[in-house]
Amino acid sequence: MDETSWLAEAVSKTEEQAFDQRGRVQFRDGPLVGFLERTIVRPGIALYRVEGVSDHAWKLKAQGEVPAGNLVVGAIINGAGTIDAVGNERQAWRGSGRSYVVSLAERDITYHLEAGEPWRAVTLLMEPEALETLAVQNGALPPSARAVLDDGKLPISSLFEHNRAVMRTAHDILLSPYYGTMETLWRESKAMELLAHQFDHLNSSSSCPQSLNPRELARVKEAYDLLVADLRDPPGLDALAALVKVAPRRLNQGFREIYGMTVFEALLEARMKAAHALILERQDVPLKHLAWLVGYKQLSNFINAYKRRFGMAPGQLRRANR
């Protein structure tokens, strides 16, 4: 990929930066604070590391040529947001431990990131010649990689569940124990290790069910509305699936495709957002009653869930906003 620059954009701010001599794009005063770094690890294979955070929702997009036949495999270590790739359904994620695959396919691809969520990711971009070399050397490619090699304009964009080997290697790439030349060698070796884990993960995911059709996706959205209509007494997975006439496994798959989380995770997130708003807006409501309003019978369970989501106890937030 021949990027001329990268564009970071929020509602009121835009910053465009090109790679410097070290292969870095540094954002300091615009929509986010962070960096994006590119290292060529082999002919046709580039390693990207990115870290950034913003007080506002923001998006990141490459400027320049987006050629056909290039494949990106990545590991999202932290953050929340979506990947918008023209020709595919929006891919959403929240929290750590997601890997993904995207074909460039001569189209617009934009990463949308949520405010206040530090984004840390590691990705590998492979050109067609590199994919062909890997196929010759290893005898096979994962189905998605082979499909992109056969049809460079094929639109592919998928998120996958947590994979421990992928995440461990991605962490190693971000947190090198070396400096200088040794750091370069370390990252090159870890990049190829990451690629091996990613390809293994893609192979194991190839038997996953096909993406939901438009009718099923519409029913998933209907299911979400039913799920959050009454946070005190929401339907369970099987009951919810029966209401919208979608199998429970397909319903969970649809929630992952649209919302980046399972049915249970979506319910938890809805409860936490409702609780957060009530804490800020209703100082008169006791915490025990507030917990009941969002579906928690035990106050301790509510407090623990809230702390995991927002990093502080609900009582602390309430006192800080008096």
Are 128 and 7 members of one domain? yes
Are 254 and 174 members of one domain? no
Please say if the pLDDT value at position 161 is more than 60.
yes
Are 42 and 191 members of one domain? yes
Are 222 and 278 members of one domain? yes
Q: 63-109 pLDDT, tens per residue?
A: 888 788 999 999 999 888 899 998 888 888 877 778 899 999 889 99
Total domains present in the chain: 2
The residue type of 169 is T
Would you say 223 and 244 are in contact if contact means Cβ atoms under 8 Å apart?
Answer: yes
Please say if the pLDDT value at position 282 is more than 50.
yes
Residue 109, pLDDT score: 93
Are 198 and 230 members of one domain? no
Are 291 and 247 members of one domain? yes
Q: Rounded to 5 degrees, what are φ and ψ at 48?
A: -115, 135
More confident residue, 45 or 141: 45
Residue 22, pLDDT score: 87
Are 225 and 198 members of one domain? no
> Nearest to residue 61, comparing CAs of 26, 17, 123, 114?
17
> Nearest to residue 9, comparing CAs of 73, 51, 62?
62
pTM here is 0.66
Domain containing residue 230 = 214-320
The percent of residues above 70 in pLDDT, for the chain, comes to 97
Would you say 123 and 71 are in contact if contact means Cβ atoms under 8 Å apart?
Answer: no
Q: Scanning the structure block, which residue is given the tokens 């990106």?
A: 72
Where is the domain boundary, 173, 205, 237?
A: 205
**Cα–Cα dist 118/33, whole Å:** 10
Are 102 and 172 members of one domain? yes
Where is the domain boundary, 160, 178, 205?
A: 205
Q: 224-255 pLDDT, tens per residue?
A: 999 999 999 999 888 999 999 998 888 888 88
Are 277 and 131 members of one domain? no
